Structure 1
Amino acid sequence: MIPRKYAPLLFALILSGLMSLMVSGISTYRVAGSLPGFASLWMSAWLTAWLFAFPAVLVVAPVARRVVEKFLVGTR
C-alpha cells in the first residue's frame, strides 16, 4: 500500500488521468469521428493531455480549495 502522506499526489494523478482521458476522448471524437485508428489517436492525445493535466491539478487544486472555503458557511 501507499503511505497516506502521498494521498494528495495520488489524488492528483487519478483525477488528472481520468479527466484528461474523458476530455481528450470527446475532443478527439469531435475532430476525427469514428475512424479506424481512433483508439490510437485518442491514446496519443490523452497522454499529451495528461502530461499537462497532472502538474496543472497539483497547482490548481489548492487554489480551488481556498476558493471553495470562501464560499462555505460553517465551522471555520
Structure 2
Amino acid sequence: MRPFIPRPLEHIAFGLLLSCFMSLLISGVSTFLAAGMGPGFVGNWLSAWLSSWAIAFPSVLVVAPFVRRVLHKMVV
C-alpha cells in the first residue's frame, strides 16, 4: 500500500489522529460518568467529543514539540 500523507505533514496527521481518539475516549467516559447510559447518551457524547476535539487538536500540535524535547533529555 502506498502512503498518501507526505512526510512533512506527518506530525499534523499524528496530532489529528491522536487528538481524535483520545478526545473520543475521554469524552465518552466523562459523559457516562456525568449523565449515565440513558436516552440521548450517544448524542451527548458526540456533542461533547466535537467540542473537545476542537480544543485537543491544536493543543496536541502546540504541546507535542515541548514533550519531545523533554523526553529527549530524559531518555538515555
Q: For this structure pair, what is the TM-score category when the shorter chain's length is used for normalisation?
A: over 0.9
Question: What amino acid maps onto 2:20 in structure 1?
Answer: G
**Segments ≥4 residues shifted beyond 4 Å:** none
Q: Which residue of 1 aligns with 2:17?
A: 14
Q: How many residues align?
A: 73
Q: Which residue of 2 aligns with 1:47?
A: 50
Do structure 1's residue 23 and structure 2's residue 29 form an aligned pair? no
Give the CA deviation at 1:2: 2.0
RMSD: 0.6
Give the CA deviation at 1:72: 1.1
Structure 2 segments unaligned to the other structure (5+ residues)? none
Q: Which residue of 2 aligns with 1:65?
A: 68
Residues 40-74 of structure 1, C-alpha deviation per residue, up to 9 Å, x if partnerless? Answer: 1000000000000000000000000011111111x
TM-score, normalising length: structure 1: 0.93
Supply the distance in 1 between the matched residues of 2:62 and 2:56 (Cα, whole angstroms). 10
Supply the distance in 1 between the matched residues of 2:61 and 2:11 (Cα, whole angstroms). 8
Structure 1 segments unaligned to the other structure (5+ residues)? none
Supply the distance in 2 between the matched residues of 1:3 and 1:64 (Cα, whole angstroms). 23
